[in-house]
Structure 1
Amino acid sequence: MSSAVTTAPASSLSRRDGLAAGRGAVVRCAAMTVDPEAKLERAKHRLYVLGQVTGWGSLLGMQLLMQDAVDSASRTSLHDQAVLSMIILQGLLLTHYARPLIRRWGWLQHGWAALLPRVLGLAFVMSLVWTVVGFGYIYGVLGEPWHSDRFTITLGMIASTFNGTLLFCGWFSLYFIYHTFERLRRLQLEQLRLAASAKEAELRALKSQVNPHFLFNSLNSLRALIDEDAPRARESVTRLANMLRYSLQSGQQETVPLEEEIRIVEDYLALEMIRHEDRLRVKWALDDEARVMSVPPMLLQTLVENAVKYGISTRREGGEVTIAAALEGDDLHIRVINPGDLSSPPSPAAAKAGSSTGVGLRNASERLQLLFGDRAKLSLAAEPAGCVTAHVLIPSLKNSFRSVR
């Protein structure tokens, strides 16, 4: 007879092996993925076990030392060691099984006034069990002879119950104090999370106000170019597209390198120069070290836009806008200088044109505070030479209250 052996193609075997290996890798990855809460609970359980063993073991050691000190003539006998070990083991087991009862009864949610009678009652019951089992072990299991003086035995049981009640009350005090501090810690963490969420929501709201303001002013610049010069209009559309793309992309970031802000400001100024022609002159003074520093998105563009609106658009002769950035110590200083005077109110046209810019400056100041803390500043100051300086101070990362992403 001939026997036929069916063999699977090598490609099928390799595919099955690959799928099996893939499933095994997924299982291993899933096993390696640890829930932080579960990991924390396991760490707390290990701490509890360590505390139980250390605490009751230390108590046993102290009892044995005290027994030796009292009976200095001879070392503690095996009989006494067995009695003390049994008593300590009872305490460990009673407190261990009292723990789930406390959780089930919801005692961790009560205040100290409500806990006191409950703890005293449970400690007394546990102490009674401790005493009855202990004396039963001594006189029943170990065969200790009963004294003829029943009063002595009764007094010993009363003393044991009293001491046990105090001991268990001490254990409960430590247990509830730990959970009180744990509850406070969780409450503080929750408050920090809520504060961080509020800051995040506030920052997103400020960013959402920046984008419409930026778009409105850029479209105004483009509208002035369309009918005058088509090639320049096409160039302006390209620059505006760059600015809009940057606005959308940077809206997802808290900070960007200053170098990126500079490129967008160059696009913005190119649009404004076409509209203002020779009336707008720009002077750059940028340190190379400052170019890599982190700044909030649209910060420099907002400052320059404010300078153009108030220092150039409202003046017939125009003027020069100076943009400077430098590191002073570890802090970044940005200055945008334009002709003007803070003491004189702007004209109605200027006020209308710059109203959105004023909102942008306020938003920029608030964003600086949210990102870099109280040391971050945005200020406007009048200079003796008839100029206005917008000054931004961004503290170094090691001095700021949070790390910048």
Structure 2
Amino acid sequence: MYWVLQLGGWGTFLAGSLVLANIFNLEYAEALIINRTIAMTLTGFLVSHLLRVVLKNSNLLQKKLELSIGWLLLSLALSSFLYGLLVLASFEAFDLFLSQEVIEKLNLGQLLLAVSLEMGSIMLVWLTIYCFYHYYADSRQRQLDKLKLEGIIKQMELKTLKAHLNPHFIFNSLNS
């Protein structure tokens, strides 16, 4: 289920970004827009998967939400920062910046902050969906376990009653 949602979500991000670029008819080369969008999508896919690995290995979602919220926000900030670093590195490596003028006006810190904040909202949506799904699945599993235990208890009660009733009926039959 994770992979279906992961691929579907980032595929939707990719398709939506490309559609928006076509709607607004940006005056940049189409290949540049497509390559930028692919770089951003692949980076998002990678960082969100890395975030999932960290969350699973730290057992952060096994704890109460009140205890986890601070760590979840920290992991969101760090993953957004990592996303910003990786996107800027890929833009630099593959010459995907839209304008050299913007690069010259802004320093690396400003660019990193802008990209990290922009993607932080997407990562927040991803993290929220992931946490809700995880807590829902855990809650459902707990309900199933509870129902199984209740069934076992009922079975044991019936066996106990049966064990108590059998000697009584045998004794009455012998007396008759």
Report the TM-score when normalising by structure 1: 0.40
Instruction: Specify the alignment match of 2:5 in structure 1.
Output: 51
Find out whether 1:80 has 2:47 as its counterpart: no
- Using a 3 Å threshold, how does the CA distance of structure 1 residues 216 and 82 change in structure 2: closer, same or farther? same
- Using a 3 Å threshold, how does the CA distance of structure 1 residues 88 and 105 change in structure 2: closer, same or farther? same
- Using a 3 Å threshold, how does the CA distance of structure 1 residues 197 and 98 change in structure 2: closer, same or farther? same
Instruction: Give SS of 2:79's match.
Output: helix
- Say which of 114, 122, 133 aligns to 2:86: 133
After the TM superposition, which residues 320-339 of structure 1 pair with which residues of structure 2 at under 5 Å, given as runs? none
Identity %: 24
CA distance in 2, matches of 1:192, 1:149: 64
Q: Is the 8 A contact 1:127 1:161 kept in 2?
A: yes
Offset, 1:143: 6.5
Gaps of 5+ in 2: none
Deviation readout 1:298-329 (Å, 9 max, x if unpaired):
xxxxxxxxxxxxxxxxxxxxxxxxxxxxxxxx
Offset, 1:156: 4.2
Q: Is the 8 A contact 1:102 1:108 kept in 2?
A: yes
Instruction: Specify the alignment match of 1:101 in structure 2.
Output: 54
More helix, by proportion: 2
The structure that has the greater radius of gyration is 1
CA distance in 1, matches of 2:64, 2:127: 14
Deviation readout 1:53-86 (Å, 9 max, x if unpaired):
1100001111111111222678x61111011101
- Say which of 72, 88, 96 aligns to 1:119: 72
117-126 or 177-186, which deviates more: 117-126
Find out whether 1:90 has 2:43 as its counterpart: yes
Q: Number of aligned pairs?
A: 174
Instruction: Specify the alignment match of 2:22 in structure 1.
Output: 68
Offset, 1:139: 2.8
Instruction: Specify the alignment match of 1:194 in structure 2.
Output: 149
Q: Is the 8 A contact 1:90 1:130 kept in 2?
A: yes
Offset, 1:158: 2.1
Instruction: Give SS of 1:71's match.
Output: coil
Offset, 1:136: 2.2
Offset, 1:177: 0.7
Find out whether 1:158 has 2:113 as its counterpart: yes
In structure 2, give the amino acid aligned to 1:51: L
CA distance in 2, matches of 1:143, 1:201: 68
Gaps of 5+ in 1: 1-46, 222-405
Offset, 1:194: 1.2
- Say which of 116, 131, 149 aligns to 1:176: 131
- Using a 3 Å threshold, how does the CA distance of structure 1 residues 73 and 96 change in structure 2: closer, same or farther? closer
Deviation readout 1:310-362 (Å, 9 max, x if unpaired):
xxxxxxxxxxxxxxxxxxxxxxxxxxxxxxxxxxxxxxxxxxxxxxxxxxxxx
Offset, 1:140: 3.1
Q: Is the 8 A contact 1:120 1:165 kept in 2?
A: no
Q: Which has the higher contact order (CA 8 A, sep 6+)?
A: 2
Instruction: Give SS of 2:156's match.
Output: helix
CA distance in 2, matches of 1:139, 1:212: 85
CA distance in 1, matches of 2:93, 2:175: 100
CA distance in 1, matches of 2:146, 2:75: 35
Deviation readout 1:85-127 (Å, 9 max, x if unpaired):
0111011011112222211111021222222221221121121
Instruction: Specify the alignment match of 1:327 in structure 2.
Output: none
Report the TM-score when normalising by structure 2: 0.88
In structure 2, give the amino acid aligned to 1:87: M
After the TM superposition, which residues 2-401 of structure 1 pair with which residues of structure 2 at under 5 Å, given as runs? 47-71=1-25, 77-142=30-95, 144=97, 146-147=100-101, 149-151=104-106, 155-221=110-176
Q: Is the 8 A contact 2:10 2:41 kept in 1?
A: yes
CA distance in 1, matches of 2:91, 2:79: 18
More strand, by proportion: 1
- Using a 3 Å threshold, how does the CA distance of structure 1 residues 66 and 153 change in structure 2: closer, same or farther? farther
Q: Is the 8 A contact 2:35 2:96 kept in 1?
A: no
- Using a 3 Å threshold, how does the CA distance of structure 1 residues 159 and 177 change in structure 2: closer, same or farther? same
- Using a 3 Å threshold, how does the CA distance of structure 1 residues 68 and 153 change in structure 2: closer, same or farther? farther
- Using a 3 Å threshold, how does the CA distance of structure 1 residues 176 and 143 change in structure 2: closer, same or farther? closer
CA distance in 1, matches of 2:160, 2:96: 80
